[in-house]
Amino acid sequence: MGATKAVTDASFASDVLKSDKPVLVDFWAEWCSPCRKVSPLLEEIAGEMSDQVTIVKLNIDENPETARAYRVMSVPTLTIFKNGEPVQSIAGAKPKGELLKLIESAL
């Protein structure tokens, strides 16, 4: 998977909520074509900003509890978490500049 990491309902608390640095969660699904457009951008950002932010991917079909808990209604939904709390979310495939703004909102 490269610079991003897959998380599950079981690992979400330890990987995201207890992280020392901000975490961008990509709520995605296998059948979602906009998700496939965002994925390479997230890999790129993860490689460039690994010292500042962790980027993880959560498949909503395989992990419905977490998706439900954070009211994910469409995919992709990208949510930045800091200190265990969601800071900001955006839905839909966005250009790299908008993804960077989302991350910067938690730095």
**CATH number for 15:** 3.40.30.10
Residues 6+ apart with CB under 8 A from 78: 24, 25, 26, 27, 38, 89, 90, 91, 94, 99, 102
- Which amino acid is it at 24? L
Report the C-alpha gap between 104 and 31 in whole angstroms.
Answer: 29
- Which amino acid is it at 88? Q
pLDDT at 2: 60
CA 47 to chain centre: 14
Q: Which tens digit of pLDDT belongs to each residue from 24-72? A: 999 999 999 999 999 999 999 999 999 999 999 999 999 999 999 999 9
| pLDDT (average), residues 4-24 | 97
Q: At what angle do helices 33-48 and 96-104 cross, to 10 degrees?
A: 60
Catalytic residue ranges? 32, 35
pLDDT at 1: 44
Structure tokens that stand for 8 in this block: 């599950």
Host domain of residue 21: 5-104
Q: How much of the chain, in percent, has pLDDT values that exceed 70?
A: 98
| pLDDT (average), residues 16-25 | 97
Residue 83 has pLDDT above 60, yes or no: yes
Residue 3 has pLDDT above 50, yes or no: yes
pTM of the entire predicted model: 0.95
